[in-house]
């Protein structure tokens, strides 16, 4: 329980990023993973673009396109 409180206090956020010709561009952040994933899916369906949701320290990665989505739980934090 203490760990969850610490994560909340540290501002753990899930980022939504849009794929642009220049690379990934952050569009928004959410504290809840499910909300971030839902928003990314809806954005992709609405405008046809590719979005991704990344978790804290890139431990989670989900990619959303009009064709569907794919998520990975990474064993080791990636370097951004």
Element (H or E) spanning 49, and its range? none
Neighbours of 50 (CB within 10 A): 18
Q: Per DSSP, what are the bridge partners of residue 60? A: 73
pTM of the predicted structure, to 2 decimals: 0.78
- 14's CB contacts (< 8 A; 6+ apart) are 29, 30, 31, 32, 33, 35, 36, 37, 53, 54, 55, 56, 60
Q: What is the pLDDT along the chain (80 residues), one digit of tens a residue?
A: 334 443 444 568 999 999 999 999 999 999 999 999 999 999 999 999 999 999 988 888 999 999 999 999 887 655 55
């Amino acid at each position: 329980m203490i760990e969850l409180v610490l994560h909340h206090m540290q501002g753990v956020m899930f980022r939504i990023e849009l794929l642009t010709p220049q690379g990934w561009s952050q569009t928004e952040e959410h504290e809840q993973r499910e909300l971030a994933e839902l928003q990314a899916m809806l954005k992709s369906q609405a405008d046809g673009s590719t979005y991704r949701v990344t978790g804290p320290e890139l431990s989670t990665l989900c990619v959303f396109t009009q064709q569907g989505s794919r998520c990975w739980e990474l064993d080791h934090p990636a370097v951004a």
